[in-house]
Amino acid sequence: MAEPAEFLHGRTHVIEFLRRKWNKELDYRLKKELWAFRENRIAVRFEYEWHDDSGQWYRSYGNENWEFDELGYMKFRFASINDLPIKESERKLRGERKT
């Protein structure tokens, strides 16, 4: 995951970040709710659950704001994310992954 002081610049940096994130956050399940949109901006609420390689489960939740450029690429992303350790039995997001 990105450290609080880590800023991503360019597509290569984003790809590297996502590879690190997906190698750490195993069996990832995500739920997003659209809160608002206008012109080239979107706001969402999200929660996702995942476990690390030791088997510890987490629920990550928060809010994201996105702004897109004229080509539809993400120009800015602002996120507030909290990670909460949970027991496997406390998971809310279950089901088969769709590919």
Residue type, 70: E
- Per residue in 77-97, pLDDT (tens digit) is 999 999 999 999 999 998 766
Residue 97 domain-assigned (yes or no): no
Residue 59 domain-assigned (yes or no): yes
When divided into structural domains, the chain yields a total of 1
**CA-to-CA distance for 93 and 50, rounded, in angstroms?**
10
Quote the domain boundaries for residue 77: 28-90
| Mean per-residue pLDDT over the chain, rounded | 88
Q: For residues 31-44, give the mean pLDDT.
A: 96
Which CATH number belongs to the domain containing residue 84 in this structure?
3.10.450.50
Using the structure block, give the residue that is written with the tokens 């880590």: 6
For residue 3, pLDDT beyond 60:
no
Predicted local distance difference test score (pLDDT) of residue 20 = 85
Residue 96 domain-assigned (yes or no): no
**CA-to-CA distance for 75 and 66, rounded, in angstroms?**
8
Q: Which residues contact 69 (CB under 8 A, 6 or more apart)?
A: 40, 75
Residue 51 domain-assigned (yes or no): yes
pTM for the model: 0.74
**CA-to-CA distance for 50 and 90, rounded, in angstroms?**
12
Residue 98 domain-assigned (yes or no): no
